[in-house]
Amino acid sequence: MAAGNPLDDLATLPPEVLAEVVREAEIMIQAQLTASMASDQRAYTFAGLVLAAATAALSGAVALVRATPPDTELARIAAWYAGSMMAAGGLTIATAWPRRFCVPGNEPKNWHPDEWGVPAGPAQNITRARVEQATVLQSQIRQNAAANKAKAVAQLVGFIIAYGASIICGVALLQVLF
């Protein structure tokens, strides 16, 4: 970590306050991890639902095409719906794929004096260690927030695709039937 980081002023805080800053940052990273795992669960649940709907719609499309006489108009609607549900499911599953995410804790190698933002010696004390840790945690919090935001946006797009396809295909189905 480079000296002169934006959180150097934290060194002026009383030790117990600085310890609280680090503790709360660690709690925030844990909360981000929990939220990310919950998002993964939503993605898998939603994907299971829409992929089951896609399977049913695709089976219906095949049955409609093979019927005597074939009903190609309804088969097209069912196939379009199945494709949309597969796209929505695939997009939401992709949001749960493993990717870089900062987790709580620190590797012991990061405590090596060469890793500090100040030269070895008296400047490397517990206050400086907490400032260094706060700086790392701040960076991790920002990275996690960006990762969670990207995941949320992609899931929302998947939800919109599924919802839009349901409305569009529902209206098309009603027009064909009535």
pLDDT per position as a tens digit, 2-17: 456 788 899 899 999 9
Q: Which of 74, 77, 42, 10 has the alpha carbon at shortest distance from 155?
A: 42
Orientation of helix 126-177 relative to helix 15-66, angle to 10°: 20
pLDDT band with cut points at 50, 70 and 90 for residue 114: confident
Integer Cα distance of 171 and 169 in angstroms: 5
Q: Look at residue 111 in the predicted model and tell me its pLDDT.
A: 80
pLDDT attached to residue 129: 87
Nearest CA to 112 out of 104, 102, 124, 123 is that of: 124
8 Å CB contact between 46 and 92: yes
Of the listed ranges 68-77, 81-90, 98-107, 150-159, the least confidently predicted one is 98-107
C-beta separation of 166 from 78 below 8 A: no
Place of tokens 């900062």: 102
How many other CB atoms are there within 10 angstroms of residue 95's CB atom? 24
Mean pLDDT score of the chain: 92
Q: What is the DSSP letter of 6?
A: T
pLDDT for 2 equals: 46
**What is the value of pTM for the model shown?**
0.83
Q: What per-residue confidence (pLDDT) applies to 3? A: 53
23 or 114: which carries more pLDDT confidence?
Answer: 23
Q: Which amino acid is at 27?
A: I
8 Å CB contact between 136 and 104:
no
The model's pLDDT over 127-144, given as tens digits with 9 standing for 90+, comes to 888 998 999 999 999 999
In this predicted structure, the answer to whether residue 48 has a pLDDT above a threshold of 50 is yes
Under 8 Å between Cβ of 159 and 88 = yes
CB burial of residue 4 (10 Å; 0-12, 13-18, 19+): exposed
> CB under 8 Å, gap of 24 or more: what pairs does 139-144 form?
140/29, 140/102, 141/25, 141/28, 141/29, 141/32, 141/102, 143/100, 143/101, 143/102, 144/29, 144/32, 144/33, 144/36, 144/101, 144/102
Most confident of 49-53, 114-118, 122-126: 49-53
**Would you give the DSSP letter of residue 7?**
T
